[in-house]
Protein backbone atom coordinates (compact mmCIF):
# COMPACT_ATOMS: atom_id res chain seq x y z
CA UNK A 1 0.00 0.00 0.00
CA UNK A 2 1.30 3.43 -0.95
CA UNK A 3 2.46 5.77 1.78
CA UNK A 4 -0.05 8.53 2.46
CA UNK A 5 1.00 11.92 1.15
CA UNK A 6 1.75 14.82 3.46
CA UNK A 7 -1.54 16.47 2.56
CA UNK A 8 -3.48 13.31 3.39
CA UNK A 9 -1.76 13.10 6.76
CA UNK A 10 -2.41 16.78 7.43
CA UNK A 11 -6.09 16.21 6.61
CA UNK A 12 -6.19 13.42 9.21
CA UNK A 13 -4.59 15.68 11.82
CA UNK A 14 -7.00 18.50 11.00
CA UNK A 15 -10.02 16.22 11.08
CA UNK A 16 -9.45 14.65 14.46
CA UNK A 17 -6.14 15.79 15.90
CA UNK A 18 -4.78 12.41 14.80
CA UNK A 19 -1.48 12.23 16.68
CA UNK A 20 -0.33 9.11 14.88
CA UNK A 21 -0.62 10.90 11.54
CA UNK A 22 1.28 13.85 12.95
CA UNK A 23 3.95 11.45 14.21
CA UNK A 24 4.44 10.20 10.64
CA UNK A 25 4.83 13.81 9.46
CA UNK A 26 7.40 14.47 12.19
CA UNK A 27 9.40 11.38 11.26
CA UNK A 28 9.24 12.35 7.59
CA UNK A 29 10.50 15.91 8.07
CA UNK A 30 12.54 15.63 11.26
CA UNK A 31 15.90 15.56 9.48
CA UNK A 32 15.11 18.55 7.26
CA UNK A 33 13.86 20.76 10.09
CA UNK A 34 16.69 19.86 12.47
CA UNK A 35 19.29 20.21 9.72
CA UNK A 36 17.93 23.56 8.62
CA UNK A 37 18.00 24.95 12.14
CA UNK A 38 21.45 23.55 12.83
CA UNK A 39 22.83 25.29 9.78
CA UNK A 40 21.04 28.53 10.74
CA UNK A 41 21.86 28.52 14.47
CA UNK A 42 25.07 26.50 14.52
CA UNK A 43 24.25 25.78 18.12
CA UNK A 44 23.30 22.14 18.41
CA UNK A 45 21.26 22.41 21.61
CA UNK A 46 19.44 25.55 20.55
CA UNK A 47 18.65 24.07 17.13
CA UNK A 48 17.19 20.95 18.74
CA UNK A 49 15.00 23.05 21.05
CA UNK A 50 13.83 25.23 18.19
CA UNK A 51 13.07 22.18 16.04
CA UNK A 52 10.88 20.75 18.79
CA UNK A 53 9.16 24.11 19.24
CA UNK A 54 8.60 24.29 15.49
CA UNK A 55 6.90 20.88 15.42
CA UNK A 56 4.73 21.72 18.42
CA UNK A 57 3.81 25.02 16.78
CA UNK A 58 3.02 23.21 13.53
CA UNK A 59 0.67 20.88 15.41
CA UNK A 60 -1.15 23.68 17.19
CA UNK A 61 -1.38 25.80 14.02
CA UNK A 62 -2.17 22.96 11.64
CA UNK A 63 -5.53 24.56 10.81
CA UNK A 64 -3.70 27.46 9.18
CA UNK A 65 -1.98 25.15 6.66
CA UNK A 66 -3.29 25.70 3.15
CA UNK A 67 -2.30 23.12 0.60
CA UNK A 68 -1.28 25.81 -1.88
CA UNK A 69 2.39 25.01 -1.27
CA UNK A 70 4.15 21.93 0.07
CA UNK A 71 3.83 20.93 3.70
CA UNK A 72 7.62 20.93 3.92
CA UNK A 73 7.89 24.58 2.92
CA UNK A 74 5.13 25.47 5.41
CA UNK A 75 7.07 23.63 8.11
CA UNK A 76 10.31 25.34 7.07
CA UNK A 77 8.56 28.69 7.38
CA UNK A 78 7.56 27.85 10.94
CA UNK A 79 11.10 26.70 11.72
CA UNK A 80 12.54 29.89 10.23
CA UNK A 81 10.07 31.97 12.27
CA UNK A 82 11.10 30.11 15.42
CA UNK A 83 14.72 30.87 14.57
CA UNK A 84 13.97 34.58 14.08
CA UNK A 85 11.95 34.72 17.31
CA UNK A 86 14.80 33.11 19.19
CA UNK A 87 17.26 35.53 17.61
CA UNK A 88 15.10 38.50 18.63
CA UNK A 89 14.88 37.18 22.14
CA UNK A 90 18.62 37.03 22.43
CA UNK A 91 19.22 40.51 21.05
CA UNK A 92 17.63 41.64 17.87
CA UNK A 93 17.20 39.79 14.61
CA UNK A 94 19.86 41.78 12.80
CA UNK A 95 22.47 41.41 15.49
CA UNK A 96 21.77 37.71 15.74
CA UNK A 97 22.17 37.32 11.99
CA UNK A 98 25.42 39.26 12.18
CA UNK A 99 26.47 36.84 14.87
CA UNK A 100 25.92 34.01 12.40
CA UNK A 101 28.38 35.68 10.12
CA UNK A 102 30.98 36.26 12.79
CA UNK A 103 30.85 33.00 14.69
CA UNK A 104 33.19 30.54 13.09
CA UNK A 105 32.53 27.43 15.09
CA UNK A 106 29.53 26.01 16.87
CA UNK A 107 29.50 26.93 20.54
CA UNK A 108 27.69 23.95 22.03
CA UNK A 109 27.97 20.21 21.49
CA UNK A 110 31.14 19.01 19.78
CA UNK A 111 30.78 17.92 16.16
CA UNK A 112 29.91 14.25 15.99
CA UNK A 113 31.20 13.72 12.48
CA UNK A 114 34.51 15.52 12.47
CA UNK A 115 35.77 18.14 10.13
CA UNK A 116 33.26 18.10 7.28
CA UNK A 117 30.50 19.73 9.27
CA UNK A 118 32.84 22.31 10.76
CA UNK A 119 34.08 23.08 7.24
CA UNK A 120 30.57 23.60 5.97
CA UNK A 121 29.68 25.83 8.91
CA UNK A 122 32.89 27.83 8.50
CA UNK A 123 32.21 28.27 4.83
CA UNK A 124 28.62 29.33 5.55
CA UNK A 125 29.91 31.82 8.11
CA UNK A 126 31.60 33.75 5.31
CA UNK A 127 28.24 34.54 3.70
CA UNK A 128 26.12 37.57 4.41
CA UNK A 129 23.16 36.74 6.67
CA UNK A 130 20.54 36.88 3.91
CA UNK A 131 22.72 34.85 1.54
CA UNK A 132 23.24 32.30 4.25
CA UNK A 133 19.53 32.00 4.99
CA UNK A 134 18.71 31.53 1.29
CA UNK A 135 21.49 29.00 0.72
CA UNK A 136 20.51 27.03 3.83
CA UNK A 137 16.81 26.99 2.91
CA UNK A 138 17.56 25.79 -0.61
CA UNK A 139 20.28 23.27 0.20
CA UNK A 140 19.59 22.09 3.77
CA UNK A 141 15.83 22.51 3.46
CA UNK A 142 15.67 21.32 -0.14
CA UNK A 143 13.30 24.14 -1.04
CA UNK A 144 12.93 25.63 -4.49
CA UNK A 145 13.79 29.29 -4.98
CA UNK A 146 10.13 30.27 -4.99
CA UNK A 147 9.46 28.28 -1.82
CA UNK A 148 12.44 29.98 -0.16
CA UNK A 149 11.01 33.33 -1.27
CA UNK A 150 7.71 32.39 0.39
CA UNK A 151 9.47 31.41 3.61
CA UNK A 152 11.67 34.49 3.89
CA UNK A 153 9.39 37.07 2.32
CA UNK A 154 12.16 38.08 -0.13
CA UNK A 155 11.37 38.60 -3.80
CA UNK A 156 12.09 35.60 -6.00
CA UNK A 157 14.84 37.45 -7.90
CA UNK A 158 16.46 38.40 -4.60
CA UNK A 159 16.49 34.78 -3.44
CA UNK A 160 18.00 33.67 -6.75
CA UNK A 161 20.76 36.25 -6.57
CA UNK A 162 21.45 35.50 -2.88
CA UNK A 163 21.74 31.79 -3.64
CA UNK A 164 23.98 32.38 -6.65
CA UNK A 165 26.23 34.81 -4.80
CA UNK A 166 26.33 32.54 -1.77
CA UNK A 167 27.20 29.52 -3.90
CA UNK A 168 29.97 31.44 -5.65
CA UNK A 169 31.43 32.48 -2.30
CA UNK A 170 31.26 28.92 -0.98
CA UNK A 171 32.95 27.65 -4.15
CA UNK A 172 35.74 30.20 -3.73
CA UNK A 173 36.09 29.29 -0.06
CA UNK A 174 36.45 25.57 -0.78
CA UNK A 175 38.88 26.26 -3.65
CA UNK A 176 41.05 28.37 -1.36
CA UNK A 177 40.94 25.62 1.22
CA UNK A 178 42.10 23.01 -1.33
CA UNK A 179 44.91 25.31 -2.51
CA UNK A 180 46.04 25.89 1.06
CA UNK A 181 46.06 22.16 1.86
Partner 1 sequence: MNDNADTARNEEDAFHTELEELFRRNEPQPQPGYAGRILQRVSRPERVRYAAIGGAGALGAAVSGFQLRQLLENQTLQFSGMLGEVIAFAGPQSISVALMAASGLVLAWVLPRRGF
Cα angle at 109 between 106 and 115, to 5 degrees? 60
CB of 90 to partner 1, least distance (A): 22
- Within residues 68-97, the interface with partner 1 by CB under 8 A covers none
Contact between 171 and partner 1 by CB under 8 A: the answer reads yes
Residue 139, SS3 per DSSP: helix
CB of 159 to partner 1, least distance (A): 15
Nearest to partner 1 of 8, 30 (CB atom): 30
CB of 92 to partner 1, least distance (A): 26
Contact between 109 and partner 1 by CB under 8 A: the answer reads no
Cα angle at 106 between 164 and 145, to 5 degrees? 25
Binder among 7, 8, 30, 94 for partner 1 (CB under 8 A): 30
Residue 118, SS3 per DSSP: helix
Contact between 3 and partner 1 by CB under 8 A: the answer reads no
Instruction: Check: CB of residue 50 under 8 Å from CB of residue 76.
Output: no
Query: 10 Å Cβ neighbour count for 66?
Result: 7
Residues 6+ apart with CB under 8 A from 23: none
Binder among 40, 43, 55, 75 for partner 1 (CB under 8 A): 55
Alpha-helix runs per DSSP H in the chain = 6-16, 19-41, 44-60, 71-90, 93-102, 115-125, 129-139, 145-152, 156-180
Per CB under 8 A, the segment of 1-9, 20-28, 75-83, 91-99 that binds partner 1 is 20-28
| Site residues (vs partner 1, CB under 8 A) | 19, 22-24, 26-27, 30-32, 34-35, 38-39, 52, 55-57, 59-61, 63, 113, 116-117, 120, 139-140, 167, 170-171
Amino acid sequence: MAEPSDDELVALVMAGRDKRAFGVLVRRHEVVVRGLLMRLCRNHALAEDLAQDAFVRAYTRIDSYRATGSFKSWLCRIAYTEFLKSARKRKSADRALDRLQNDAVEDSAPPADGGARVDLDRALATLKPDERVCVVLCYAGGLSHSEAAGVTGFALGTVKSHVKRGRDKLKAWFERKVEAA
